[in-house]
Amino acid sequence: MAQPERSADSAQFIESLRDRSDAQRYQPTPPAFLQPPRPSAQGNALAQGLLQQQREASQRSKKQPRALYFVSFSIPEEGLIRMLPEARELDIPAVVNGLIDNDMRKTAEAVFRITREKNVGGVQIDPTQFTRFGITSVPSLVVTCGESTYDLVRGNIRLRQALERVASEGDCAATAKAILAENPL
């Protein structure tokens, strides 16, 4: 008789485990004070407004520069030592197409050699700008005025002279004049 009793105890034990598991699985929702807050319509509108402000600020910070100076490390260092400080004085970013031998260290060393004498200058690496403006030879100056309007001056010419040329005969004359006026000799 001990055997059937033991079997009944085991069945009851298994049944109680299943009931406990079911009770845990089907628990009622927690009380309201334990639930995470739900965004109200007002809170949701505030979050959307903040997100929109962030997008607009990001767009303003990515605004196209008024002018870009396209150079390359294929230009002799003496030339770059003269060109980069002039671009910096005029607040015109100097842009290169890529790294020297695809090596960041070599590129950084070259920039250091070029800028150490006057401690001004530097370059941005941005191949997308070369593509956007169809730059195939350097040095080149691009002066922009609008999304798709720009003037391009190619050749080994001083930046001020290139800006004066755009100011006198370019579509973006007003932009070139403004750059020159902001940076008098």
Domains and CATH numbers, the chain: 67-182 (3.40.30)
Distance between CA atoms of residues 152 and 134, nearest Å: 10
Length of the chain (residues): 185
Q: At what angle do helices 159-169 and 77-89 cross, to 10 degrees?
A: 50
Per-residue pLDDT of the chain (185 residues; tens, 9 = 90+): 555 566 667 778 777 777 776 666 666 676 777 777 776 666 667 777 777 777 666 555 556 789 999 999 999 988 888 899 899 999 999 999 998 898 889 988 888 888 887 777 789 999 999 999 999 999 999 999 988 899 999 999 999 999 999 999 999 999 999 999 998 87
Structure tokens at 122: 């530097």
Cβ-based burial of 180 (10 A; exposed 0-12, middle 13-18, buried ≥19):
middle
Distance between CA atoms of residues 123 and 102, nearest Å: 16
Buried b (16+ CB within 10 A) or exposed e, 36-65: eeeeeeeeeeeeeeeeeeeeeeeeeeeeee
Distance between CA atoms of residues 87 and 72, nearest Å: 14
Residue found under tokens 């004085």 = 89
- pTM as predicted: 0.65
